[in-house]
Amino acid sequence: MASSSESGAVDPEFSRLVQGVADGFPVGAPVTASELAAGIGRERPEYAGDRLGKVTFNVRAGARRPVAEWLSAVRDCYDPAAVAPTGHEVLDGRLTLAALAALDPPLAAQLGQPTLAALAGECEIHPVPPAPREHVRWLADEPVGLDQDELGRRGVASALEQQLEILVRDYPGRSFLVHIDGAWGAGKSTLLRFLRELAERAGPGRSPAGWLVVPYDAWRQSKVGPPWLTLLHAVRAAVRTTRRRRWARAWFWLRERARLVDNWQWAAFGLMAVVVAGLVTVLVHGSADLTVSRWGDVVKLAGGLLPVLAALWLLAKSAGRFASLDSRRAARAFLENRADPMEDLAAHFDWVLCQAGRPVLLLVDDLDRCPETFVVDLLDAVQKLMRDRGRGTAAAGRPVPNLLVVVAADGRWVRSSYDTAYASLTGAISAPGATIGSLFLEKLFQLTVPVPRLSDELKAAYLADLLADGPASPGQRLADPDLTRRLTDAPPEQVLDVLASAPAIERIRASQVAIDRLVVDPGAQRRTRHALEPYAGMLDPTPRAMKRFVMAYSMLRAVRTAEGSVVGIGPLALWTILQTRWPTLAEHLQATPSAVRLFALPADQIPHSTPAELRALFAEPPADLRVVMNHPAGPMDERTIRECSGQAISAHPDRE
């Protein structure tokens, strides 16, 4: 029964109590149902037979929505015509609390069955949530922008962009390849789009020119021509856009085409020009003295020169095809008529890249939709034609810019392409826990970044957003302000502990702040190197291996944080080493974590379904692999593998 202090509502549908609680929150700010219930409890602890005042609310649990949306959902649980004749008269605190509990399972769990039963006994009418809709709005299956990030991917893109900035700063003029690994539909294109948007924005410490971003759709380009030709088209088009004036773009076009003409072709051009100029001179200056006999001599001369002119014309036409390089035919002619076409192409690529005048970021998407031959040819073209830098510097008169190539593709697709292309070498080239394809990938890519997985909590929240009447407002995606403040103020060594204190969905919403503290902040790299020093003995004894280890760990930390996981430093470091040194084994354990038990079986009991290249590794693991698997910071058991690979969410960084 509504008390007298609740009657006479400001809004005819809600009591003054409910309106007062609602007005205590900022307009449009997302809140949980538990926060609203806690506000009602503070005002009316006597509800539910004095039980409400004894409930301890977890105000971070449950979905977050603006107050107006919660009240609209409460309104939909009741028939106004049925409420008016009751003693409630309006939607008072009891009815609102009962509806919120019916709408939000986490709140119902906090209240408990006894409190809910007592509350129901005090209500004359009970909430009936609307039946689930059978029809949903149409959804676009395409990459979204940074402002529409609902899955915590922005923090990963920010960490990756920061890693690329470090490479540009520490290794000027060098080139690097990065692999974004994930299955079809995992969000590789979205992550690539986030990276592009971040790279195109001005940022602190960045050169005024910023990045020159070159997008490359491998699936589309695979139908156009050979990979090196389509790469040249993409790079030259991007460089041309840096010329703002029309004459500058035309001058770049002429210079770039002129470089494709060989010396003997220029000689043919010159000889043809001399012959034509001579004929014109004879005809113009000697026309007054020409007689019939002399005209006959000129005709004979011209007739004798016609074969020469025809030959010169063919040479000029051939040079024109070289200078265009805009078709398969021109590309084929270029390769067939050069003594060392690959070296000439590499020098030309270098010259074009030097014209950019800034670091070049080549973003390759949809490679895992291309035929295996195109996959291998494209990566080989990048390796042979674009990574060996410095050949065009003198001709360009410019410093050599960095080239960063980011390839988004399913690693299994790429590895299989190389395994097939080099199948005849399988017996000659092998390594424990690796295939030819994985060895090629290790050689090609300096860094591999997995796409964050969807945790169960994030799946539920994401599906709820998709099934809603409209897209979620930006406010609904905001992190809990209190958690954000605590993450910002916490000492670096306590960031994981602070993150672990929050519910999984809130950890994901606050992942951008956490990743900034753990990976992106200027001091994060130094702290990471210090934390990883105890694991240096398990790496290959080279500076390059240690640097790659630190970068791989940092990106893996960003990915796991975006998933809401707070797995400890030790287990994550061991998993990074496993992925780096035994990639095929790590891939198998990630797909089948229970396979880690095979290390304890005799060789004759290892199932025949186990990949052939891994059986010997399980039967007789080398000493350094045993150290990694049984390290005190782990051990790498089934639970740890699930947490480190993103299949389970670690709630506590308790194993260091």
The model's pLDDT over 374-418, given as tens digits with 9 standing for 90+, comes to 999 999 888 888 766 554 444 445 667 888 999 999 988 998 899
Residues 437 and 489 both lie in one domain: no
Q: How far is Cα 571 from Cα 559, in angstroms, rounded to an integer?
A: 15
CA distances from 183 to 145, 285, 414 (A): 20, 75, 12
The pairing of strands 212-217 and 175-181 is unpaired
Structural domain contains residue 199: yes
Residues 286 and 374 both lie in one domain: no
482: Cβ–Cβ under 8 A, 6 or more apart, which residues? none
- Sign of the four-CA dihedral 231, 237, 241, 246: positive
Q: For residue 421, list its beta bridge partners.
A: none
Give the Cβ contact number of residue 130 at 10 Å. Answer: 9
Residue 470 in 3-state DSSP? Answer: coil
Range of the domain at 13: 4-122
Q: What are phi and psi of 212, to 5 degrees?
A: -100, 110
Residues 510 and 606 both lie in one domain: yes
Exposure letters 405-422 (e unless 16+ CB within 10 A, then b): bbbbbbbebbbbbbbebb
Q: What is the DSSP letter of 14?
A: B
Structural domain contains residue 539: yes
Q: What are phi and psi of 409, to 5 degrees?
A: -165, 155
Q: How far is Cα 354 from Cα 225, in angstroms, rounded to an integer?
A: 24
418: Cα within 13 Å, side-chain hemisphere: 19
The domain boundary residue, chosen from 87, 122, 157: 122
Alpha helices (runs of H) in 286-422, residue ranges in sequence order: 292-324, 328-336, 341-354, 372-381, 393-396, 411-421
Structural domain contains residue 460: no
Structural domain contains residue 206: yes
Do residues 430 and 584 make contact, with C-beta atoms less than 8 angstroms apart?
no
Residues 482 and 444 both lie in one domain: no
Q: What is the pLDDT of residue 469?
A: 57
Q: How far is Cα 181 from Cα 167, in angstroms, rounded to an integer?
A: 20
Q: What is the pLDDT of residue 500?
A: 84
Residues 231 and 281 both lie in one domain: no
pTM here is 0.71
CA distances from 304 to 208, 284, 289 (A): 61, 20, 22
Q: How far is Cα 293 from Cα 290, in angstroms, rounded to an integer?
A: 8
The domain boundary residue, chosen from 324, 344, 365: 324
The first and second tokens of residue 66, run together, are 């603006």
Q: How far is Cα 134 from Cα 152, in angstroms, rounded to an integer?
A: 29
Q: What is the CA radius of gyration of the chain?
A: 34
Q: What is the DSSP letter of 638?
A: H
Residues 319 and 403 both lie in one domain: no
Q: What is the pLDDT of residue 331?
A: 65
* Number of separate domains in the chain: 4
Q: How far is Cα 159 from Cα 180, in angstroms, rounded to an integer?
A: 13
Q: What angle do CA 67, 73, 79 make, to 5 degrees?
A: 135
Query: Of 648, 530, 656, whose CA–CA distance to 594 is shortest?
Result: 648
Structural domain contains residue 455: no
Q: How far is Cα 330 from Cα 317, in angstroms, rounded to an integer?
A: 11
Segment (H or E) for 192: helix 188-200
The domain boundary residue, chosen from 324, 339, 368: 324
pLDDT tens track for 207-232: 445 788 999 999 988 888 888 888 88
Residues 478 and 375 both lie in one domain: no
Q: What are phi and psi of 398, to 5 degrees?
A: -130, 155
Residues 579 and 500 both lie in one domain: yes
Residue 181 in 3-state DSSP? Answer: strand
The first and second tokens of residue 263, run together, are 């010396």
Q: What is the pLDDT of residue 400?
A: 75
Structural domain contains residue 136: no
Q: How far is Cα 97 from Cα 36, in angstroms, rounded to an integer?
A: 8
Structural domain contains residue 347: no
87: Cβ–Cβ under 8 A, 6 or more apart, which residues? 1, 2, 124
Which residues of the chain are under the pLDDT cut of 50?
A: 1-10, 203-208, 290-292, 295, 319-323, 391-396, 474-475, 655-656
Q: How far is Cα 151 from Cα 638, in angstroms, rounded to an integer?
A: 26
CA distances from 84 to 21, 72, 88, 99, 364 (A): 22, 18, 7, 17, 63
Residues 295 and 213 both lie in one domain: no
Structural domain contains residue 154: yes
Residues 247 and 279 both lie in one domain: no
Residues 154 and 231 both lie in one domain: yes
Residues 271 and 244 both lie in one domain: no
